[in-house]
Amino acid sequence: MSAESPASGWLVIGRGARIARDAISIRAETSGGPGGQHANRARTRIVATLHLAHVTSLRPNDQARLVEELGPVVRSSASRFRSQGQNREAALEQMRRRLAAALVPPEARRATRPTTASRIRRVDDKRARGRQKRIRQSTEDD
């Protein structure tokens, strides 16, 4: 299921963000790999490319987050179907998912403390290491 609507011309990526369909360039290529002459001649592989600098429909902070997470150019390709239309849908859906995942803010780190038991273990280990070093020291002058 794609959030892209051909009638509306928008790719909805979540959090109220959407990208104009004509900002995404789509190129058809030969898919290559096994499949004989059909794979070598039919241009069914789709490569969708989005230059984030050219997108005007995003808020500046969303655009900055996408550039930071994905880089200035986002590419997505699909060649698993024999149909160019299905591969176009798959490439756009893959791009939509990547953009939506990049827009999710990272979870804030919560500061934690060492547990009481781990502090006791640490001190006990230090004492044991100190005892071992004292035992190894020579008490006689050579």
- pLDDT at residue 6 greater than cutoff 80: no
- The pLDDT score that the predictor gives to residue 1 is 46
Closest by alpha carbon to 43, among 11, 91, 79? 79
In a domain, residue 119? The reply is no
pTM: 0.69
Q: What is the dihedral of CA 17, 51, 78, 46, to 10 degrees?
A: 120
Grade residue 142 by pLDDT with cuts at 50, 70 and 90.
Answer: low
14: left (phi over 0), alpha (psi -120 to 50) or beta: left
In a domain, residue 135? The reply is no
In a domain, residue 120? The reply is no
Per the structure, the complete domain to which residue 9 belongs is given by 4-103
Rounded to the nearest integer, the mean pLDDT of the chain is 87
- pLDDT at residue 7 greater than cutoff 60: no
Counting beta carbons within 10 angstroms of the beta carbon of residue 109, is it exposed (0 to 12), middle (13 to 18) or buried (19 or more)? Answer: exposed
Say which CATH number the domain at 55 has: 3.30.160.20
